[in-house]
Amino acid sequence: MDYAEEVRAWASLLRSSKTSTLKFAVARAILDEVRDAATAEGEVHISRDRLSFRLVSYYWYQVRLFRLKQAAAEIQEPNVVRKLRDLNLTSDSKWHPSRSYIQDVVDFVSEDGFREVIPRFHSGIERTIFEVRAGGAIAIAGRPRAFAAALEPLLMRSVMAGWAEQVEQYNLTPRVLAKVSFNGQRRTSVSKWAKPLREFDDACFYCRTATPERVQVDHVVPWSFLFDDAAWNLVLACDGCNNSKRDWVPASRFLTALCERNRSLTDQGAAGAFAKRVHFSMTQLPHGGAEGLKQSLDMLCEQAYLQGFSGDWSPS
């Protein structure tokens, strides 16, 4: 089949000037739906609620977990972003699709959020990627669907790169593309490092409770800011400290203590897999190595504050 027109449509979509990241979000939802479609052929039909749900799930991680701004000023951000940011939740940044506050945002987007997005999606695009059906559902016909399905990995990569490129303008934060692309699947667990950490210092890093019964491996600089399991940043925390710290940046005395911990861990000749990891991970920092660690930490924590993370946490 000759897909010249579909190529032009997607190319112009990715090129078209964007005042909002919503165009990327809708394109991502189309690609996700086409990839996951139950049938192999024919039209893919996406109800307005289904599309809203997809969009809310993408923005949830970017806004609630990573605190990524989606425009230069809050007033320019899509309504869904402001809605998610304004949710008054005490702790949770986990995605709970069945909770009523999520359903409220999905309903809002479904009723209101698409009024301009869907009609405007094709502005500046030569050929339509989807058609609008009764009730505001969208349909991707057989031919554009076959094209999107065949090229999904390539198109998705381009959509995410475009989204990240835009978000990068408004955020000073590591790993923007990985954060924008995050779908809730964590690939690795840090709990395997509990044993070597215990052998080195068997106490909660924060409150110094010795040999806590239940112990967690915690990220000192919030994981949701670094989006990385770098070994220099891992410590043991008791349940209480781990639950209360969440994604806060700790008080500066803990940053000093972390530098000392890493220095003495690697000074011992970097024996053992964990110490080797710590040593290597410090070379990857902006101010590389153990000597630069405090400077790197101060810089990263400053960026985390600017990104909207709360700071100066201490155990209660």
Rule CB under 5 A: choose which of 10, 130, 163, 206 binds Zn ion: 206
Residue with tokens 């710290």: 245
CA distance 139 to 47: 9
Stretch of 39-47, 77-85, 199-207, 291-299 contacting Zn ion, by CB under 5 A: 199-207
30 binds Zn ion (CB under 5 A): no
Cβ atoms of 45 and 133 within 8 Å: the answer is yes
207 binds Zn ion (CB under 5 A): yes
The nearest distance, CB 223 to Zn ion, in angstroms, is 17
Judged by beta carbon, residue 204 or residue 297, the one nearer Zn ion is 204
Judged by beta carbon, residue 75 or residue 210, the one nearer Zn ion is 210
Cβ atoms of 84 and 108 within 8 Å: the answer is no
- Pick from 101, 147, 134: nearest CA to 9: 147
Total residues binding Zn ion (CB under 5 A)? 5
Three-state helix/strand/coil letters over 106-170: HHHHHHHHHHHHHHHCCCCCCCCCCEECHHHCEEECHHHHHHHHHCHHHHHHHHHHHHHHHHHCC
The one-letter code for the residue type at 261 is R
Judged by beta carbon, residue 60 or residue 206, the one nearer Zn ion is 206
The nearest distance, CB 46 to Zn ion, in angstroms, is 47
Judged by beta carbon, residue 56 or residue 220, the one nearer Zn ion is 220
CB contact set of 228 (below 8 Å; sequence gap of 6+):
174, 175
Residue with tokens 């070597």: 196
The nearest distance, CB 140 to Zn ion, in angstroms, is 52
Residue with tokens 């806060």: 248
Judged by beta carbon, residue 46 or residue 238, the one nearer Zn ion is 238
Rule CB under 5 A: choose which of 9, 140, 164, 204 binds Zn ion: 204
Stretch of 103-111, 206-214, 260-268, 272-280 contacting Zn ion, by CB under 5 A: 206-214
The nearest distance, CB 232 to Zn ion, in angstroms, is 20
Judged by beta carbon, residue 164 or residue 204, the one nearer Zn ion is 204
Residues between 225 and 254 with contacts to Zn ion, criterion CB under 5 A: 238, 241
215 binds Zn ion (CB under 5 A): no
CA distance 222 to 228: 9
Interface positions with Zn ion (CB under 5 A) = 204, 206-207, 238, 241
